[in-house]
Structure 1
Amino acid sequence: MGLWNYISQKAKGLGVTEKAPRRAALPQRDGADSRGEWLAARGPRAVPPAAGRRVKETAGQGAKTMSITASGPDCCGGLGNINYRKADLCVMTWLLHYVDPLDPSFVVAFLTIAFNPFFWNVVARWEQRTRKLSSAFGSPYLACYFLGGVILLLNVLRSHCFTQAMLSQPKMEGLDNPTTYGLGLALLGVGTVFVLSSFFALGFTGTFLGDYFGILKEARVTTFPFSVMDNPMYWGSTANYLGWGLINPALQEPWNQRHASPTGLLLTVVVALVYVVAILYEEPFTTEIYRQKAAKSHGRR
């Protein structure tokens, strides 16, 4: 002990102080008490442990590790911080660049396409139930000719509105190639063949709803083009509109400066959908009246 006191006195004389012993770490506990004890032990400038550190607790026979995490704010700040003005609307922008559905010419074309089959089916069903047109004209044939003439005029108006809608809206330059132009011509040719051959096979009254006026053929027509497909006149007309949209109706321009019309292609889809609805409405009636005619003919025999 005397030697130790002597060494300590010499060290003090040289200005060397004895190093303070390290404080033992306080056990960590949850809650505010643990934080207060830790600050008291470390001093006022001490930084508390970060939230989310792992602490160990011993309970019962073994030790288990528990992770304490502090929940932070949502990474994106929630849906309220989304700027919808920066949303990618390139598809809609691309479509509206070519087709303006609010353009008056487009609206008129759409209405004429939808109106025509609606008109002739309503009038034909009304005639089939009441025979008013036949009575007014004194003959079912004259009444059928009258309705057929009105339908032809409506179809001319529809084609005119279809063309004007295409001319008033932008074209698709990506399809300005000989293949597209040739495909358009081919569709026009095939469509015209189906329409004309259907007309010659059915005749005027057969084409323009003569069966609703009581003007029936001996049996349903099954020769060309009906041997190839059902309702060839409707699908031939659809092919004509599709081909017309591909070749561009601006006939004053050379073929290599014409571009397919997205408006024409979209309106062709409308034509096809309207015809599908018309077929679903007309086909059961036509099938039934020829079934009844066949049953009557069989009964007479």
Structure 2
Amino acid sequence: MSFLLDPTRPSLYICLLSITSTPLGWSFIARNEYRHHTLTKFIGARTACSIFGVVIFLSGLLRDVLYRIALHDQPYYPLPYEIQTILAWIIFSVGNFLVAASFVRLGFWGTFYGDHFGIVKDKRVTGFPFNVLENPMYFGAKLCFVGAALWYERPAGLLVAAYVHLAYMAVLRLESPFTDMIYAKRRPSNGTARPMS
């Protein structure tokens, strides 16, 4: 097992902590904002959500850097070109495409918890890629972890990707019912996203 994973490297645990804390932190902060309007009361829904979105984006970048550092600290296992390059690029590209397509479909507010800040669409997004996958952004992110593990030829990265899957499943158990509740309470208006009063 030591040729696949080096459990003595602190970077591995820092990476796992980042993978766990970032989506859970986003979810809890957004849920607090929905219930208590902590930021919205002071700076308004759109400004608060914009700042929150930037924080989410930057923490995602930090998580990716920590993942790359962790990979480089793990044992190297050479793969055939077809897996290391071609398959890695296909998986990574599909993952990024799903993340980008989700962002385009949801828009900034939809991607960064706008509905928790009161910026709610009249109905949930159901067009591509949401008509193919229930959570395409999370699924795409998981594929990116797998693609990076293959690209850098680090078997430990596949174990981290499996951990990402478990962490995201846990977050979705919190997020999905709460988002369902938000949209169940929503009354149709003129078809545009607007802050709820």
Name which of 65, 71, 74 aligns with 1:166.
71
Larger Rg, first or second structure (1 or 2): 1
Quick check: 1:265 aligned with 2:171?
no
Q: Shift of residue 180 of structure 1?
A: 4.1
Residue type at the aligned position of 2:160: L
What SS does the corresponding residue of 1:132 show, helix, strand or coil? coil
TM-score with structure 1 length normalisation? 0.61
Quick check: 1:195 aligned with 2:99?
yes
What SS does the corresponding residue of 2:2 show, helix, strand or coil? helix
TM-score with structure 2 length normalisation? 0.92
Name which of 32, 41, 52 aligns with 1:135.
41
Name which of 167, 170, 173 aligns with 1:274.
167
Equivalent-residue separation in structure 1 for 2:7 and 2:21 (angstroms) = 17
Q: Which residue of 2 aligns with 1:150?
A: 55
Equivalent-residue separation in structure 2 for 1:119 and 1:288 (angstroms) = 20
Equivalent-residue separation in structure 2 for 1:200 and 1:166 (angstroms) = 30
Matches within 5 A, 1:35-54: none
Higher relative contact order (CA 8 A, sep 6+): 2
Equivalent-residue separation in structure 2 for 1:112 and 1:238 (angstroms) = 14
Quick check: 1:231 aligned with 2:126?
no
Equivalent-residue separation in structure 2 for 1:159 and 1:297 (angstroms) = 39
Identity in percent = 37
Q: Counting helix residues as a fraction of each chain, which structure ranks higher?
A: 2
- For the aligned residue pairs, the C-alpha RMSD in angstroms reads 1.3
Unaligned runs of 5+ in 1: 1-94, 249-259
Equivalent-residue separation in structure 2 for 1:278 and 1:165 (angstroms) = 23
What SS does the corresponding residue of 1:170 show, helix, strand or coil? coil
Quick check: 1:112 aligned with 2:18?
yes
Unaligned runs of 5+ in 2: 190-197
Runs of 4+ in 1 over 6 A off after TM superposition: none
Equivalent-residue separation in structure 2 for 1:149 and 1:231 (angstroms) = 21
What SS does the corresponding residue of 2:119 show, helix, strand or coil? coil
Residue type at the aligned position of 1:237: A
Residue type at the aligned position of 1:286: T
